[in-house]
Amino acid sequence: MLFANPGNRNLTLAITGASGSLFAREMLHALDADERVTRVHLVISSSALRVLAEESGINGRNTLAEKLLGRSSAKIVQLAHEDIGAPIASGSYPSNGMIVLPCSMGTLAGIAHGLAGNLIERAADVCLKERRPLVLCVRETPLNLIHIRNMAAATEAGATIFPVIPAFYNHPQTVEDIARNYVHRVLQHMGLPQPGAFQWNPEAAATP
């Protein structure tokens, strides 16, 4: 596990302008329901607003957390993408890590090259310099050489590249099942194993 303390997690979830808003919604639901997570800082890029509207029919900026969850949550704090003075922009603010889901190639490039031109890039930069977990759930296909080199640079700096790739060995019945299984995998990597998460058992799978 990446964390020694099993509770009181303070995490950042960033949503950027790649396709995959369903995965972001499932992640937000999982973090909100997890009692070990006490605070979630949610940052949504301007490009993500367009994707959310296209894929989920969700519009608006200030109440997106409530719209994604379907209700309000005292645990989730939405921060403006332009607010580089937000708490998570400083290494002195206690944080247990950051997930970018989905992570666009533009966001990956900004993080890999330390641009810190907005809150998502700056918060990710803080995670890297403070040696905190940073998971980049990249979403693009096909990949060009620039994408691959940026993924290598981010990995060398300390990030984990966790591509949004669905699994089918758990026999999903809906697209929500696919997204939920992926979210469970990411949170397992973050030291937050989820109840009901599928675990591969080759012996059971081979049983006629």
Domain boundaries, the chain: 15-206
Which residues of the chain register pLDDT less than 70? Answer: 1-6, 203-208
Contact of 94 with 10, CB cutoff 8 Å:
yes
Domain range 15-206, CATH class: alpha beta
Contact criterion met (CB below 8 Å) for 9 and 37 = yes
φ and ψ at 102, to 5 degrees? Answer: -75, 160
Encoding tokens for residue 50?
Answer: 């367009």
Residue 59 has a pLDDT of 86
In this structure, the chain runs to a length of 208
- Cis previous bond, 102, omega within 30: yes
Decide: 141 and 114 in contact? Cβ < 8 Å: no
Q: Which helix (DSSP H) or strand (DSSP E) does residue 119 occupy? A: helix 119-129
Q: Which amino acid is at 53?
A: A
Is residue 56 within 8 A of residue 22, CB to CB? The reply is yes
Residue 13 C-beta-side C-alpha neighbours within 13 Å: 29
- Decide if 118 contacts 47 (C-beta within 8 A): no
pLDDT at 4: 45
The 10s digit of each residue's pLDDT in 141-172 is: 999 999 999 999 999 999 999 999 999 999 99
130: nearest Cα among 98, 107, 108, 101: 98
| 58 token code pair | 């969700």
Which residues fall within 8 angstroms of residue 152, CB to CB, at 6 or more apart? Answer: none
Strands 76-79 and 160-161, how do they pair? unpaired
- In order of 41, 119, 136, 200, the CA distances from 77 in angstroms are 5, 14, 20, 35
Are 34 and 191 within 8 A, CB to CB? no
* 130 within 8 A of 158, measured Cβ to Cβ: no
